[in-house]
Amino acid sequence: MKLKILIVDDSEEIRALLHATLDLADAFEVHEAVDGPSAVAMMDSLAPNLVLMDIMMPGQFDGVEACRRIKAAGGANAPKVVLISAKPLDQIKADAKDCGADLFIVKPFGPAQLVDSLTALYRH
């Protein structure tokens, strides 16, 4: 069974790159959202196993707030959330801890690192 992943990023190019990378692994069913509010709105109908989300997104709220809302709404059944960002490592760690993210990945990262990190996270 493939893991259902929701990619959340305001950049169409980044979403396409992440989608293509995860498609190559053939272990994921990949869906996309353009921002935090869209991702939060999709939780009930999509029920992803994992959300891969950029921290810095314009609009109503960023990835940290979206993560916080996803975790709060899902309770014990909330999907795992992985934050991605090019922010300094100490800031990413603080953001991840603040919103309850399960993992963070610092940009730039390679395709193998992404697939390995997501697969390992879900297996634990």
In the chain, domain spans: 3-123
How far is the C-alpha of 25 from the C-alpha of 56, rounded, in Å? Answer: 26
User: Residue 124: what pLDDT?
Assistant: 64
> What pLDDT, on a 0 to 100 scale, did the predictor assign at position 69?
98
Residue 8 near residue 66, CB atoms below 8 Å: yes
Show the low-confidence residues of the chain (pLDDT under 70): 124
pLDDT of residue 112: 94
Q: Which fold has domain 3-123?
A: Rossmann fold (3.40.50)
The closest of 54, 48, 76, 77 to 66, measured between CA atoms, is: 54
pTM exceeding the 0.85 threshold for the entire prediction: yes
What pLDDT, on the 0 to 100 scale, is given for residue 122? 76
**Contact criterion met (CB below 8 Å) for 55 and 83:** yes
Is 7 in contact with 79 (CB distance < 8 Å)? Answer: no
* 101, 82 Cβ separation under 8 angstroms: yes
Tell me which residue has tokens 């314009």: 58
